[in-house]
Structures are given as C-alpha cells and as structure tokens.
C-alpha cells in the first residue's frame, strides 16, 4: 500500500527541525510534564512528544486535527511517520 501523505512530502517541502531554536513538547510544557522523543507535525509545525511519552501528544494532535504526518525532531534521525496509514519513510 502506498501512502499519499508521505509521497507528497520531500526533503524540499517538509518542515525542518533546523527552524526550531528550542526543542520541547509544546503540550508537555503546559502541564509541566516530561517527554521521551519529539516529533514535528508536517501540517502545522507543532513540536510534540512521541508515543513512548506518557501523554503521546503527537498522536493526540493527529486524532484531534487529522494532521497525519510527523517527522522525527531527534538529531541524526531523518524519517517521517503517517498516523493515518501507519507507514514510515526515510528522507
């Protein structure tokens, strides 16, 4: 199965982690919580925590907004994940 969400994103049009001066989960900061890893919503640019984090803010953001694709905000990682199609892609 091919994921249209992922195929529409390329290294040239994705929201890069390089544009963020500070790496933090926007929602965890509001509730004074911790996160494990960070993800960047490729629709709106929100930086949120991963599924391994207690509050899973990136997944909850997808469920609330249908913003399907996130990228890893972790240094050294260059991959995308589509929540809708449960598929990943390196870039």
Q: Which residue has the higher pLDDT, 21 or 11?
A: 21
Confidence of residue 12 (pLDDT cuts 50, 70, 90): confident
Cβ neighbours of 87 (radius 10 Å): 15
Distance CA 19, CA 69 (A): 18
78: closest CA among 27, 4, 24, 10? 10
In the chain the beta strands, taken as DSSP E runs, fall at 38-41, 47-49, 69-72, 79-82, 87-90
| pTM metric for this prediction | 0.94
């Amino acid at each position: 199965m091919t994921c249209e969400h992922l195929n529409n994103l390329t290294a040239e049009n994705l929201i890069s982690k390089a544009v963020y001066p500070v790496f933090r989960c926007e929602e965890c900061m509001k509730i004074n919580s911790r996160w494990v890893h960070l993800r960047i919503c490729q629709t709106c640019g929100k930086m949120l925590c991963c599924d391994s984090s207690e509050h899973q803010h990136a997944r909850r953001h997808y469920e609330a907004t249908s913003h399907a694709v996130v990228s890893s905000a972790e240094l050294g990682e260059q991959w995308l994940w589509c929540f809708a199609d449960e598929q990943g892609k390196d870039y």
